[in-house]
A and B are shown apart, each in its own frame.
Chain A
């Protein structure tokens, strides 16, 4: 295991150098949480499709249990059960619009992971940084359990468990547990746990911060310890179901899945689940006794249990929906945790937006009316009053507004419109609007995919390391 330990120590040193200004030492997190023994056990796998350019380069790394799609390069890194999903990378010949600039893309974009450690992390989307359009880099970065690096190049950063960095370039930052950042570019800052921050520099600025004692009831992470709390337990309790799926070489797809829908073979599908047309179910999604109406999707690390999604609903990466009924076109943001009870169901009206990293955890029935926006922590009707608004009221904000722990500055109309535009884009990209001939998206394109596996050295000096591999067409 010496090779892996050496590699881990090298990563620790590099990240610590980047974070020295913030006085943040990653050593205690890494030493306790690097599953060195496990890293030899699991194979890595990659997908091949006719729709995505192929170019994998793996050098001096461990990739245990990780999944790769699209163009990826991994060097001197440890990737444990992470998804590197390059199906939205920019393609040669396309044009990237940034402010008044139209920047041509000269070669296919690739994800470049170097000197980093990612554990159960999702990497998806494409680089939104106009300075690095053809390289989505993740360098000298450590990312903990169930974090999302979404369209966000990163250099010298530490991401806590269940954190998300979305469409934001990061340099030398610490992003706290269960924090969501979408701010264009950040550098040299430490973001406290439970911060939800969405900023478009000239249009709007949204900030919600969980109170520490409330967040600790759901997820708590301290140096030297594994993450704790119901949010982590909920996922870990279902780990065995995934291990069974990963242990099998071939799995027959359920006959009831329509031809226009995509059900990944690495998703867990429990009995009494209905999958309608144009539905996308990504790898590591977990469905149980639920109805997914036309065009709905369940992305990586989503859990949908005893719930009904009427159609065109988006459950973004890491979203969890339990004992709930969602009207049409409801958006559930990254890592949100929506938990009703069998005798206290949650109902969400059509076209409502559940902001990323929202926790709705109820013990009495609760209804969120249609066309509402919801954020923060909602445990009952009283919480809902200070954590939600009709979208029309939010759109009417012109300068500034605060409610409960949320503060907003700028144009509410721009904010709502940006969210709605993104929801449309996600549905489109996922193939929700496929009509049998046009509007193909991931749901249709990801059907023709085959998987290959790769494994590390089982013994010897290089034990745990994967051999250097180049896989090209």
Chain B
């Protein structure tokens, strides 16, 4: 592991799903599907799970994950807001789930999902990037692991000076760690 640096494991930006600011949620999902179809499964077993959002100058301004898409399609009405709010009052997760279930039967969360997705703009649901999500391409993998773990990030944005050149995904880092463990076992 000592010899790995971030750029050894990163996915180049050109191989990642990207959409322009102003795109709809549906366009982002299509972009993700397209990149997954083109994905080289032989050399990288894990599929992409996020779409990067670019501004007019092709700069990355945010990230829309699968979780972000799911979060976006949840109904945002007052009733749901209240259910999500009740954990503040010390109710159990079991009770919250039973209320969600009851509400689902009355409203259904996946009704009109297409109609919703073509109206939603990616920038309203993307996760903006924090300082701790950037890592220089020459950083050691050991240090990058700390950054992933302490920030609980699924990926880090890899930079070369001011330019974004790729993504370091947790799945690839985990694969490398797993591989190193197995190599160690064989050596022992």
Interface segment, B6-14, B53-61, B88-96? Answer: B88-96
> A203-228 toward B: CB 8 Å interface, digit per residue (1/0)?
00101010110000000000000000
Report whether A205 and B91 are in contact in the complex, using a CB–CB cutoff of 8 Å. yes
**A211: which B residues are within 8 A, CB to CB?**
78
**A407: which B residues are within 8 A, CB to CB?**
86, 91, 95, 99
Report whether A205 and B94 are in contact in the complex, using a CB–CB cutoff of 8 Å. no
| Chain B interface mostly | helix
CB distance from A316 to the nearest CB of B (A): 22
**B82: which A residues are within 8 A, CB to CB?**
209
Report whether B91 and A409 are in contact in the complex, using a CB–CB cutoff of 8 Å. yes
Chain B, interface size: which category? Answer: 10 to 19
Q: Does A402 contact B (CB under 8 A)?
A: yes
Q: Does A117 contact B (CB under 8 A)?
A: no
User: Which residue of chain B has its CB nearest to the CB of A402?
Assistant: B99
Report whether A207 and B98 are in contact in the complex, using a CB–CB cutoff of 8 Å. no
- Tell me the chain A residues, 396-414 only, with Cβ under 8 Å from chain B: 400, 402, 407, 409
Q: Does B153 contact A (CB under 8 A)?
A: no
CB distance from B97 to the nearest CB of A (A): 11
- Tell me the chain B residues, 56-94 only, with Cβ under 8 Å from chain A: 78, 82, 86, 88-92, 94
From known contacts A407-B91, A409-B91, A409-B92, infer whether A402 and B102 are also in contact, taking CB-CB under 8 Å: yes
CB distance from B83 to the nearest CB of A (A): 9
CB distance from B64 to the nearest CB of A (A): 27
Give the complex CA separation of A343 and B102 in angstroms.
39
**A201: which B residues are within 8 A, CB to CB?**
90
Chain A, interface size: which category? Answer: 10 to 19
**B86: which A residues are within 8 A, CB to CB?**
207, 407
Report whether A400 and B89 are in contact in the complex, using a CB–CB cutoff of 8 Å. no
Contact of A205 among B78, B89, B102 (CB under 8 A): B89
Give the complex CA separation of A63 and B122 in angstroms.
56
Interface centre among B78, B92, B94, B95 (most CB of A within 10 A): B95
Give the complex CA separation of A199 and B78 in angstroms.
23
Report whether A409 and B95 are in contact in the complex, using a CB–CB cutoff of 8 Å. yes
Closest A-B pairs by Cβ, 5 of them: A400-B95, A409-B95, A207-B89, A409-B91, A205-B90
Ordered by A's residue number, 19 sampled pairs between the chains whose C-beta atoms are within 8 Å are A183-B90, A197-B89, A199-B89, A199-B90, A205-B89, A207-B86, A207-B91, A209-B82, A211-B78, A212-B78, A400-B94, A400-B95, A400-B98, A402-B102, A407-B86, A407-B91, A409-B91, A409-B92, A409-B95
Known pairs A207-B86, A400-B94, A402-B98 / 13 extra A-B pairs, C-beta < 8 Å:
A189-B88, A197-B89, A205-B90, A207-B89, A207-B91, A209-B82, A211-B78, A212-B78, A400-B98, A402-B99, A402-B102, A407-B95, A407-B99
